[in-house]
Amino acid sequence: MTNDRPSEERLEQLREKAWKNGVVAGRGVDVAGGPIPRKPGYYGEPVVRPPVWTREIGLYFFIGGIGGMSAVIASVAILFHHLDLIRAAMWLAAIATILSPILLIMDLGRPRLFLNMLRVFKHQSAMSMGAWILSGFGTCTVPALIAVELHFHHVFGGTMGQLVRIAAGIFIFGSALFGMLLATYTGVLIGATVIPAWFLHRVLLPIHFGTAGLGSAAAWLELIGHRIPALNAIGYYAATVETALLFWLSINKHGTADRAIHEHGSGWLIRIGEILNGPLALILRLFGLVPFAAISFLIGALVSRFGWIAVGRVSGADPEAVFAAERL
Amino acid sequence: MIGEGIQSSNQRRHSFVKDHVEVGFFTDPSVCIGCKACEVACKEWNHVPDDGFTWSGNSYDNTGHLGASTWRHVMFLEQDRQKGNQVVGAHSLGDGDGEDPFRWVFLSDVCKHCEDAGCLEACPTGAIVRTEVGSVLVQNDVCNGCGYCVVSCPFGVIDRRPEPLPDAGGAFKCTFCYDRQKSGLVPACAKVCPTESIVFGRLDDLRVRGAERVRQLQQKGYTDAQLYDPTETSVRGIHAFFLILGEPEAYGLPPKPQVPTIYLKSAWTSAFATAIGSFIATLLAFAFFS
């Protein structure tokens, strides 16, 4: 009551301002919506839809990548007669081939209809191709593991033993063939969409996902005790490629169109992931701290997969990014 | 044409499905009165659940955008531009000399039923199909809710319906009232439109009609009237096209929509190169460090 005068003056001021400008900005008041909306697009509503995928998908990208590339390592290990490594790698691939469909089915809106994925074969749908690649991978990996175990435990002798050995070889090569596609197609899956931050990096994504898969497979095998120079060399290769991709991503910027990669929480996830599986893993390996390098790479590979999903959510909900990408 | 009443193509029975005639919607905001009869008719006929009773504060639009439970959406645009020759009076905000253009535009948005449809290409189950009349239809009993169509639609139309709504988990969008069309009936939204802002008919007829309407409006001073039908991009045209006043961005419509299959070639090339590269790198690692 004692402060009557100043507040009346303030109201007069506001009235004056309203009359002059047609709009009054103030704390706690969103003037963007009126009288003429100033948000980009239609009241800032998203132009394309952000992905509805849940966190199972990020985990699937990670596990599928490890499994697929383990089979590749196993197939090469055959040529160099590393039987222990073949066994370990095929176990890894087999576990991945069981977990991957479970994660994918959990992510479906109607999990009971998951078999409809195999109703058609559509080369123009990366999702359809992925379903078939995963099916092929499972079809080769499980018999491959059984054959490897039969061979390892010398269950059969003579001709039968020879046949088992040959079967193991064939199935492992089949598994490697599907495996290398399983680890890389995920980049195509999200690269060939309408989400600006994804499709603008559709060439980088398969390289990143595939290489992160290879490095993760090698890192995992190292952590469970296979400390051999060949896996160390793969570790160097993967960390070097990931470091190069980190540079590529920081040079190949598209401004507003892919700002989700460089701003927001999603940008931080990408950055943290890429540093962990790129430069940090490389430095740790140079210092001979192989287990730490392996752990750093694995965490980085996992974080960046979640990062790319988060980027899709941010970028898809950003109308300005869509407009900017179409003007590029 | 407007004023045809019960003689209009919106009220006549047809045999487009039987005759395999390409059909379309032409939606014209210059005669839309924002009554939302199309939204209501769509929901009632197709048993679409509510969109969530939220208050947006964006003009008279509380629907927001198209989605799994919103197959028609009337937009309410408030713009500081002149509508045709309309002069805004001295009572509007501003300096009072009538030089303060303002216009209110309503446009009923709907699935575009693209010539090259991103959702249809992306669907891994074959749940999304092209019908005899050229529309894009989701077969609800086949869809397993993978969500890939959602990120493949350049217009952000199709979406997965969340729990606890009926039929949750599947992807939904406008069906072009395929069930009605099979019986020779006009889609519900066009049938109820009181001003024929939504016109249903043969696509070729509508394209002629749309072009004619743009000419008519431009003569009347609507200099920013244009058709929105992206025939020049990879979408190769849409079956539900629009007349718009001003830029497409203001309507939340992408200026140059692309069907994402055009990105497949470069992405798969990269994937194959990475796959082979990883195999060779592994081979070399074992060859030199064994």
Residues B207 and B283 in one domain: no
pLDDT digits (tens, 9 = 90+) for B16-66: 999 999 999 999 999 999 999 999 999 999 999 988 888 887 888 999 999
Nearest chain A residue (CA) to B254: A323
Contacts of residue B244, Cβ cutoff 8 Å, sequence gap at least 6:
B29, B107, B225, B226, B227, B228, B251, B253
Distance from CA of B7 to the nearest CA of A (A): 35
Q: Which of A199, A207, A323 is nearest to A261 (CA)?
A: A199
Q: How many domains does chain A have?
A: 2
Residues B267 and B216 in one domain: no
Domain harbouring B87, CATH code: 3.30.70.20
Distance from CA of B21 to the nearest CA of A (A): 27
Q: Is residue A308 part of a domain?
A: yes
Q: Which residues of A touch B287 (CB under 8 A)?
A: 80
Q: Which domain holds residue B171?
A: 5-258
Interface test with A, best of B165, B270, B283, B288 (most A CBs within 10 A): B270
Q: Are strands B23-27 and B240-245 parallel, antiparallel or unpaired?
A: parallel
Residues B68 and B92 in one domain: yes
In a 3-state reduction of DSSP, which class is residue B283? helix
Residues A180 and A208 in one domain: no
Q: How many domains does chain B have?
A: 2
Contact A110 B272 (CB under 8 A): no
Low-confidence residues of chain B: pLDDT under 50: none
Domain harbouring A83, CATH code: 1.20.1630.10
Residues A107 and A153 in one domain: yes
Residues B227 and B250 in one domain: yes
pLDDT of residue B256: 95
What share of chain A has pLDDT > 90, as a percent? 82
Pick from A159, A176, A192: which residue ends a domain?
Answer: A192
Residues A67 and A107 in one domain: yes
Q: How confident is the model at residue A34 (pLDDT cuts 50, 70, 90)?
A: low
Residues B85 and B54 in one domain: yes
Residues A74 and A56 in one domain: yes
Contact A192 B267 (CB under 8 A): yes
Q: Which domain holds residue A66?
A: 51-192
Residues A203 and A144 in one domain: no
Contacts of residue A111, Cβ cutoff 8 Å, sequence gap at least 6:
A105, B144
Q: Is residue A267 part of a domain?
A: yes
C-alpha of B118 from chain center: 13
pLDDT of residue B56: 83
Residues A188 and A246 in one domain: no
Q: Are strands B72-79 and B136-138 parallel, antiparallel or unpaired?
A: unpaired
Indicate if the pLDDT at residue A304 is higher than 90.
yes
pLDDT of residue A1: 46
Residues A69 and A182 in one domain: yes
Residues B14 and B144 in one domain: yes
pTM for the predicted model, two decimal places: 0.90
Residues A250 and A172 in one domain: no
Token reading at B290: 């064994």
pLDDT digits (tens, 9 = 90+) for A82-133: 999 999 999 999 999 999 999 999 999 999 999 999 999 999 999 999 999 9
pLDDT of residue A8: 86
Residue of B252, B258, B273 with shortest CB distance to A47: B252
Residue A105 identity: I
In the A/B pair of chains, how many CB contacts fall below 8 A?
263
Q: Does A110 touch chain B (CB under 8 A)?
A: yes
Pick from A192, A215, A230: which residue ends a domain?
Answer: A192
Residues A321 and A242 in one domain: yes
Other C-beta atoms lying within 10 Å of the C-beta of residue B260: 26
Name the least confident of A8-22, A196-210, B90-104, B254-268.
Answer: B90-104
Decide which of A288 and A170 is more confident.
A170
Residues A319 and A208 in one domain: yes
Residues B219 and B282 in one domain: no
Contact B144 A233 (CB under 8 A): no
Token reading at A152: 């390892």
Q: Does A143 touch chain B (CB under 8 A)?
A: no
Residues B252 and B269 in one domain: no
The interface pTM score, or ipTM, of the predicted complex is 0.91
Indicate if the pLDDT at residue A4 is higher than 70.
no
Q: How confident is the model at residue A24 (pLDDT cuts 50, 70, 90)?
A: confident
pLDDT of residue A53: 93
Q: Is residue A184 part of a domain?
A: yes
Q: Is residue A13 part of a domain?
A: no
Residues A203 and A290 in one domain: yes
Q: Does B56 touch chain A (CB under 8 A)?
A: yes
Indicate if the pLDDT at residue A2 is higher than 90.
no
Contact A46 B65 (CB under 8 A): yes
Q: Does A232 touch chain B (CB under 8 A)?
A: yes
Q: Is residue A311 part of a domain?
A: yes
Residues B272 and B250 in one domain: no
What b/e sequence results for B110-149 when a residue is b if at least 16 CB atoms lie within 10 Å of its CB, and e otherwise? bbbbbbbbbbbbbbbbbbbeebbbbbbbbeeebbbbbbbb
Residue of B58, B278, B286 with shortest CB distance to A43: B58
Indicate if the pLDDT at residue A156 is higher than 90.
no
| Rounded (5°) CA angle A203-A92-A89 | 90
Indicate if the pLDDT at residue A35 is higher than 60.
no
Indicate if the pLDDT at residue A328 is higher than 80.
no
Token reading at A106: 């959990």
Q: Does B248 touch chain A (CB under 8 A)?
A: no
Contact A181 B271 (CB under 8 A): yes
Q: Does B282 touch chain A (CB under 8 A)?
A: yes
Residues B268 and B202 in one domain: no
Residues B228 and B119 in one domain: yes
Residues B269 and B177 in one domain: no
Q: Is residue A26 part of a domain?
A: no
Nearest chain A residue (CA) to B285: A230
Q: Does A308 touch chain B (CB under 8 A)?
A: no
Residues A153 and A168 in one domain: yes
Residue of B94, B125, B289 with shortest CB distance to A116: B125
C-alpha of A68 from chain center: 14
Residue A51 identity: P
Q: Is residue A119 part of a domain?
A: yes
Q: What is the mean pLDDT of residues A289-298?
A: 95
